[in-house]
Every structure is written in structure tokens, then in C-alpha cells.
């Protein structure tokens, strides 16, 4: 069975710990992922959108992936996925190859995203080149579909063609479209795919449609509630997550999640890297109050 078929459950779209001068805090990362494991996460995606992946150089991203894998010293079953998409196809190839060489359990990879009107064949060709040059035959490659941010949707035709060409390496998809219809259509079109839902408000719907789990920002702070959805042990957990996602949608996500980790769990007050800004004092108070009401915390 390809590795991707074995990946499932609640994954955090992990924030990236930063020092006060906005450098990656590599020493903090394994402990932070251990914190997520203790709270019920099966794994984490590092260097995704919530992890500010596009704000780091390829060398910084390699160092972050290497540090993240240190979580296995205390949590050997914790899965680590790496975000490897860059605007440059060459850098994406380099980073994807490095992630597998370092031992990541898989990569979650954006299409080249600077040009917004490329033809489907250009998207297919880009992913084909990455798969040929950078993904080992037993690798675990996930497409990262987040068109509202990347501006480049991944066509079903691209996925179907490359799954046929690379059946062992192409494992699945992270669907962050936040579109209920898209979630249903991906599951219907690719019933044997490992599909991770990227929107906390759609987790139950995605599971009903056949998703394998979630990779979300709120899993950083609310993984026990997401586990209630995953384990089907609560009738109200999805309502709480939907309310929380509605709150989060009104704030910049990386600094919002970092503030809540500090305010609620005593983690360091990690900053964010420009162009993002930390929340103001007023924003921090409003976010904490609104999120507590949403999660009934």
C-alpha cells in the first residue's frame, strides 16, 4: 500500500515559531509539534500557509523541515508533511527533493503561482516535472489546492493524468478551497485518494464525502475538538469548529493562531515575518473573547 493511503486523521497546519527578530526558532519546533501530538494531532504540515512557508528562503525551509523531524525522538509515530511549493519551479523541485531526503512523510505542493492565467497543460507539466525529478518512487506527494490564495486552481484533469502516470507517488490532495461542492466533487472523482480537508468548518461534510482527515489552522489550538469530530463522539463539536472558523476568518491567521497559543497555552509570544504584522492589543483582546465564545471554552 502506498504511504499516502496510510496517512489520515487530524493534522495541524502548524505555525512556525520565530524569535523576536523574526528568525526561525529551530529549537522550539520539535517541542511545539510534541505539544500538538499531546493534544491529539496525528501529524502536522509545516511550512504551509499558516506556517508562513512562502516567507522563508529555500535554505530556511530545509532547516525548518530538519528541525521539525526532531519531534520523532519523543513521538515516533507523529507524521510530518512539508509544504514545498514556490513560485519558481526550480526551487520547488529542490525543496521537494530535500524534504524527502530529510525523511518527511510527504510533501504538500502548490502549483507555480505567480502567473494566474496559465493553461491546464502548463500546470500538469509543472507537477509532472516535480514528480519526475524530485519525488522518489515510494514518495508521498500531495497536491495543494488553495485557489483563493494561490490564484491557480488545480484541474481535475491534471490530478487524473498524473495519478495514472505516477500511481505510487501521487498520494492525494489538500483541499483548502473552502467550497463544499468542491469537497464533494474531489471525493467523487478520486474515491481512492487521500484527501485532507483544509477548512475547519467543512470537516464533518468532508468526512461524510470520504475525506481521510483534515489539515487546518485551528488544529493548533482546538485539536481536541477536531478529534471529537474525527472520532464521531460529539454532536456539537462541528458547530463549535464552524463558529471558530467564522471568527478566524476576520483575522490574519498566522498572528491570530500564535497569539492564542501564547494567551491560552503559555507558549512563547512568537512574532510573524513581514509582510504579516502581529495583532494590536485591541485585536488580541477581541480575538480571544470571540474565540472563547465560539469554542465555548
Active site residues: 49, 114, 144, 174
- Using DSSP, how many helices (H) and how many strands (E) does the chain show? 12, 8
CA distance 89 to 115: 12
**297 to each of 237, 244, 288, how far by Cα in Å?**
12, 11, 10
CA distance 290 to 73: 37
Q: What is the largest CA-CA distance in the chain?
A: 52
H or E element at residue 82: strand 79-83
Specify the 3-state DSSP secondary structure of 61. Answer: helix
H or E element at residue 60: helix 58-68
Amino acid at each position: 500500500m502506498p504511504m499516502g493511503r496510510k496517512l489520515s486523521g487530524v493534522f495541524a497546519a502548524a505555525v512556525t515559531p520565530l524569535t523576536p527578530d523574526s528568525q526561525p526558532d529551530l529549537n522550539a519546533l520539535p517541542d511545539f509539534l510534541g505539544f500538538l501530538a499531546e493534544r491529539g494531532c496525528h501529524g502536522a504540515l509545516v511550512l504551509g500557509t499558516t506556517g508562513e512557508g512562502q516567507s522563508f528562503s529555500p535554505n530556511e525551509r530545509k532547516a525548518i523541515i530538519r528541525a521539525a523531524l526532531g519531534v520523532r525522538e519523543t513521538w515516533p509515530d507523529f507524521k510530518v508533511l512539508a509544504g514545498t511549493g514556490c513560485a519558481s519551479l526550480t526551487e520547488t523541485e529542490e525543496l521537494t527533493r530535500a524534504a524527502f531526503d530529510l525523511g518527511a512523510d510527504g510533501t504538500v505542493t502548490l502549483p507555480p503561482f505567480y502567473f494566474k492565467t496559465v493553461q491546464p497543460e502548463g500546470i500538469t507539466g509543472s507537477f509532472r516535472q516535480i514528480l519526475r525529478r524530485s519525488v522518489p518512487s515510494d514518495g508521498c506527494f500531495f497536491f495543494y489546492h488553495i485557489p483563493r490564495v494561490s490564484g491557480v486552481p488545480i484541474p481535475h484533469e491534471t490530478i487524473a493524468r498524473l495519478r495514472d502516470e505516477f500511481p505510487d507517488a501521487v498520494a492525494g490532495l489538500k483541499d483548502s478551497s473552502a467550497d463544499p461542492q468542491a469537497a464533494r466533487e474531489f471525493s467523487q472523482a478520486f474515491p481512492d485518494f487521500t484527501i485532507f480537508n483544509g477548512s475547519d468548518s467543512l470537516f464533518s461534510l468532508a468526512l461524510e464525502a470520504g475525506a481521510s482527515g483534515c489539515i487546518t489552522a485551528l488544529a493548533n489550538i482546538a485539536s481536541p475538538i477536531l478529534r471529537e469530530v474525527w472520532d464521531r463522539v460529539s454532536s456539537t463539536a462541528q458547530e463549535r469548529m464552524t463558529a471558530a472558523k467564522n471568527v478566524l476568518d476576520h483575522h490574519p491567521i498566522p498572528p491570530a493562531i500564535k497569539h492564542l497559543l501564547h494567551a491560552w497555552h503559555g507558549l512563547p509570544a512568537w512574532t510573524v515575518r513581514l509582510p504579516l504584522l502581529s495583532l494590536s492589543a485591541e485585536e488580541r483582546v477581541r480575538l480571544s473573547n470571540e474565540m472563547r465564545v465560539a469554542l465555548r471554552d
